[in-house]
Amino acid sequence: MAEKKSCLKGVGLTKVFGLGRNKNTAVDHVDFDFSEGEIVSIVGESGSGKTTLAKMLLGLISTTEGEIYFQGKKRDIRSQRAKKEYWTNIQAIFQDPFSSYNIFNKIDSLFLDCINMRGGKNLPYEKKVEMMTEACSFVNLKFAELTNKYPFELSGGQMQRLMIARIFLLKPKILLADEPTSMIDACSRATILDMLLKLRNDTGMTIIFITHDIGLAYFVSDKVFIMEHGKFVESGTADEVILRPKEAYTKRLLNDVPKIHEEWDLSTVDIKNQ
Amino acid sequence: MKHTLQQIFHSSKFLTGFVIFMSILLVTIFYPLFVPNPPLEIIAQGSFFPPGTYVSNYDAVFSSTAYTLNLPDASAKRIAAKLGNKERSDIKDYLIKVGVPADQIDTTNTTQLLDQWTKNYDPKANIPGMIFSQQRYYQRLDKSLAGLLSSEGLIIAAKNVDTGALEQVGMINQNDYVNIKEVASVRTLPLGTDNFGRDVLTELVKATSVSLEIGLIAGTIATLIGLILGLLAGYIGGAVDDVIMFITNLFTVIPSFVLLILISYSVGQEHRGAVMVATVIGFTSWVWTTRSVRSQVISLRNRDHVNLSKLSGHSLVYIITHDILPYIASYVVMAFILQISSAILAEASLSILGLGPKTSEVPTLGLMMNWAMIYQAQILGKWWAYFPVLLVIALITFSMNLMNTGMDQVFNPALRD
Ligand SMILES: Nc1ncnc2c1ncn2[C@@H]1O[C@H](COP(=O)(O)OP(=O)(O)O)[C@@H](O)[C@H]1O
Ligand SMILES: [Mg+2]
């Protein structure tokens, strides 16, 4: 691990919403250092500040305090051009596939945007179709069946797979996946996780996987960060954190894992520790 | 999009409103093609003629030779006056002198007597034994007899607009029924005339189209201002939002109608054309569009598709036009329709107060109400001068509100019944 290069680093990252009595510290002085090619999970219950942290990392909202370092250099995204440049390196998949799409645009336009962003604006159309077909087949979908369709004609699982296809086209250095499986059925969930793993293996992408489900985190990640009330309360490798949890909060999260995860032997682990 | 349009047109409320509105619109478009009279032309002396068909009594009527009016007993009287027993025997004397046998002359048969007279009388003939004064007497008699039994009809003439001369346009024979189409200056006034003697229907159609224009201009201005301010305040937020909301709150506190009255008053009567009034209405009624567009944009800008669009490197303008506007477009269309109908009402209210467009150029629905009120049409019971105007105002706002609720039901599934 030590020889791996730092990809995204945060120092004392803080986000405060509101003023005065309405002050709400969503993210509270968090520090981290994600290496290239890692899958890192950020686990916390709803409202713990995971999405807020993700949006700060993406540069979609400003930070109240703290610094972000991208590939060892301090991030500077003050101009629109710098932002565009930064976003070729960091991309996201959001929680709700149904609100992730502009329902007025056909699916093609989503992909064409990606190709344009990768500098493929002037490619011949056949070449673009080829790229889109490849991206779709990466997520086991057929482009020919999707072209000229609107997002609302698809299922939630298909939509989220297309989001992965979008990432495949963009090939960013970092992918922030904010609870990508929480709004879709269990069947599609496993498929999506498989695809994220495949994406990392094929491209060496750093994936920051945000979830409230510690079982999923264990399933996919190298490192796990446990987040409570805007703070990282526990972190380490997946085995360390989940098999030998120190914090009461982590234990509680483990207890909340539904019985369906019994086959992963988590509850037995939990009992052992008590 | 196509789907939504289909749904809208399946809504019976929308369809009813749409049909009413389109009928009004079509009438304002096509009526002037059939009745090209200027809407403010004074066509009758006097005010408030009730609905009906009118023939002008100023029309000129003349005959090619002599003008006679052959009423049945009038003609008998006239013949008796011109052709008494003395004249009849004088005619008989003359006829005998020119050689008509005495037994063929019957002084009681007027037609035959006059017929023989016209055949045989020659003013230049030198009849032996007739003195000069007698000759003159016969000449005078002949003149007075001319046209006595004329069965000639009346000629109807109209002024030629180009030359100004009277020209024959029709002819009325004795015992004829006159086809109303051949009478030059007949006007059917289905809604009578107003206080100035102007055709209410023609005026009303013009007023409706001017009022719709005012609504359109004011609605466009209000919706554009509301949309732009709402988009900026909602999407950019921060200081921009604060400034815009400060102005909006300022306008909310002052009732827009009071503002409207003050501005209209200070603009002055001479400068208040229809467009001017529409503009003033537009600039005072954008407030609630701004507020609601802003709140919709705020909830939209946190939607993930907007975040994703940013991550795709799209510019602010692109995001507003592609990722925000389409989502609020249906709402903006609805707001626009409401703005049009409320602008029409605002113009009517202003005009009733005497602060509407100046009266000399075009009629508006509000001005017609104003005129009817000033000249006491309501008190005098001249319903045709104000009731149709009220009806049109009511129909326009009713149809637009119907369309709006119809659209609301489509866009807002929670309201579907
Ligand atoms: N735009 C915002 N304005 C004000 N408060 C916010 C905003 N976004 C999130 N918060 C607050 O920040 C806290 C963390 O929210 P979030 O990051 O969405 O949590 P999570 O993603 O872990 O469920 C919550 O208390 C939420 O109310
Ligand atoms: Mg969240």
Q: How many CB atoms are closer than 10 A to CB A191?
A: 17
Q: Which of B372, B219, B353, B350 has the alpha carbon at shortest distance from B288?
A: B219
Among the bound ligands, name the one nearest to the CA of residue A48.
1
- Strand partners for A65: A14
Return the amino acid letter for A166.
R
Higher pLDDT, A121 or A257: A121
Q: Output the CA–CA distances (angstroms, integers) from residue A130 to A112, B39, B116, B230, B312, in the order listed.
A: 12, 66, 114, 42, 20
The residue written with tokens 């008796």 in the block is: B80
Instruction: Please check the confidence at residue B52 and state whether its pLDDT lies above 60.
Output: yes
Residue B89's pLDDT is 86
Homologous superfamily of B2-45+194-415 in CATH? MetI-like (1.10.3720.10)
The answer, yes or no, to whether residue A100 has pLDDT greater than 80, is: yes
B315 touches chain A (CB under 8 A): yes
DSSP secondary structure string for all residues of B366-401: HHHHHHHHHTTHHHHT-GGGTHHHHHHHHHHHHHHH
Token readout for B36 is 């090209």
pLDDT at residue A227 in the model: 93
What CATH number did the domain enclosing A232 receive?
3.40.50.300
Q: Where residue A272 falls among pLDDT bands split at 50, 70, 90?
A: very low
**Cα distance between the two ends of chain A:** 30
**Would you give the end-to-end CA distance of chain B in angstroms?**
22
Asked if residues A265 and A273 have their Cβ atoms less than 8 Å apart, the reply is no
Asked whether the predicted pLDDT for residue B323 surpasses 60, the reply is yes
Residue A15 has pLDDT above 90, yes or no: yes
pLDDT of B15 > 70? The answer is yes
Interface contact flag, B311 A92, Cβ < 8 Å: yes
Is pLDDT above 70 for B17? Answer: yes
Q: Average pLDDT, stretch B248-252?
A: 90
Query: Which pLDDT score, from 0 to 100, does residue B56 have?
Result: 62
Amino acid at the residue A220: V
Let me know: does A131 contact A190? Beta carbons within 8 Å.
no
- How much is the pLDDT for B65? 36
Q: How far is the CA of B409 from the centre of ligand 1 (A)?
A: 33
Sign of CA dihedral B360, B366, B368, B374: negative
Q: Which residues pair with A210 in a beta bridge?
A: A42, A178
- The answer to whether the CB of B278 falls within 8 A of the CB of B342 is no
Q: What is the tens place of the pLDDT at every residue in B276-312?
A: 899 999 999 999 899 999 999 999 988 999 999 999 9
- Quote the number of domains for chain A: 1
Least Cα distance to A7 among A57, A62, A52 occurs for: A57
Quick one: average pLDDT of A180-204? 88
Write down the domain spans for chain B. 2-45+194-415, 66-177
Q: How many CB atoms lie within 10 A of CB A215?
A: 20
- Give the phi and the psi of residue A12 in degrees, each rounded to 5: 55, 35
Q: How far does residue A50's CA lie from ligand 2's centre (Å)?
A: 6
Structural domain boundaries enclosing A52: 6-98+174-264
Across the interface, of A84, A96, A104, the residue whose CB is closest to B313 is A84
Instruction: Tell whether ligand 1 has an atom less than 6 A from the beta carbon of residue A60.
Output: no
**What does the pLDDT read at residue B176?**
59
Report percent pLDDT > 70 for chain A: 92
3-state helix, strand, coil in chain A (%, to 5): 45, 25, 30
Residues of A in contact with B1 (CB under 8 A): 104
Contact B17, B403 (CB under 8 A): yes
Test the B interface: residue of A17, A85, A99, A182 with most B CBs within 10 Å: A99
- Give Cα separations from B214 to B135, B261, B346, B369 (angstroms): 80, 16, 10, 16
State both tokens at B163.
């030359």
Query: What band does B76 get if pLDDT is binned at 50, 70 and 90?
Result: low
pLDDT tens for residues B130-189?
788 888 888 888 877 776 666 555 566 677 777 777 777 666 665 556 666 666 667 788
What does the pLDDT read at residue B267? 84
State which of A51, A53, A178, A209 you would mutate to test the pocket of ligand 1, scoring each by most atoms of that ligand within 8 A of its C-beta. A51
State if residue A137 touches ligand 1 by the CB under 6 angstroms criterion: no
Q: Which atom of ligand 1 is nearest to the CA of A50?
A: 22
Cβ atoms B43, B199 nearer than 8 A: yes
Calpha distance A90→A27 (Å, rounded): 20
List A223's β-bridge partners, or say none.
A40, A237
Query: Taking 50 as the threshold, does the pLDDT of residue B118 lie above it?
Result: yes
Q: Which chain A residues are within 8 Å of B313, Cβ to Cβ?
A: 83-84, 87-88, 117
Q: pLDDT value at position B174?
A: 56
Cα(A266)–Cα(A242) distance, integer angstroms: 8
In a domain, A56, yes or no: yes
Alpha carbons B101 and A272: distance in angstroms, whole number = 160
Position B203 pLDDT exceeds 60: yes
A141 has pLDDT over 70: yes
Compute how many other C-beta atoms are within 10 angstroms of the C-beta atom of residue B72: 7
The predicted pLDDT at position B150 comes to 60
The closest-lying atom of ligand 1 relative to the alpha carbon of residue A95 is 21
Residue-wise pLDDT for B90-108, tens only, equals 888 888 888 888 888 888 8
Question: Is the predicted pLDDT of residue B41 greater than 80, yes or no?
Answer: yes
For tokens 């007023």, the residue is: B207
Quick one: tokens of A230? 């805007």
Of B1, B305, B322, the CB nearest to A99: B305
Quick check: is A198 in a domain? yes
Q: Mean pLDDT highest for which of B48-52, B148-152, B354-358, B389-393? A: B389-393
Residue A258 has pLDDT above 70, yes or no: no
Query: What is the per-residue pLDDT for A1?
Result: 45
Q: Is the CB of A46 under 6 A from ligand 1?
A: yes
- Tell me whether residue A254 is in a domain: yes
How far is Cα B86 from Cα B92, in angstroms, rounded to an integer? 10
Residues in A touching B312 (Cβ below 8 Å): 87, 113-114, 117
B69 Cα–ligand 1 center, Å = 100
Reply yes or no on whether the pLDDT at A89 is more than 90: yes
- Pairing label, strands A206-211, A39-43: parallel
pLDDT attached to residue B173: 61
**Residue B78: band (very low, low, confident or very high) from pLDDT cuts 50, 70, 90:** low
Annotate B208-270 with DSSP letters as a single string.
HHHHHHHHHHHHHHHHHHHHHHHHHHHHH-HHHHHHHHHHHHHHHHS-HHHHHHHHHHHH-GG
Q: How many CB atoms lie within 10 A of CB B184?
A: 18
Which bound ligand lies closest to the C-alpha atom of A43? 1
Closest to A95 in 3D by CA, of A39, A158, A178: A178
Q: What is the percentage of chain B residues whose pLDDT exceeds 70? A: 86
How many residue pairs bridge chain A and chain B with CB atoms within 8 Å of each other? 46
Mean predicted lDDT score pLDDT of chain A: 88
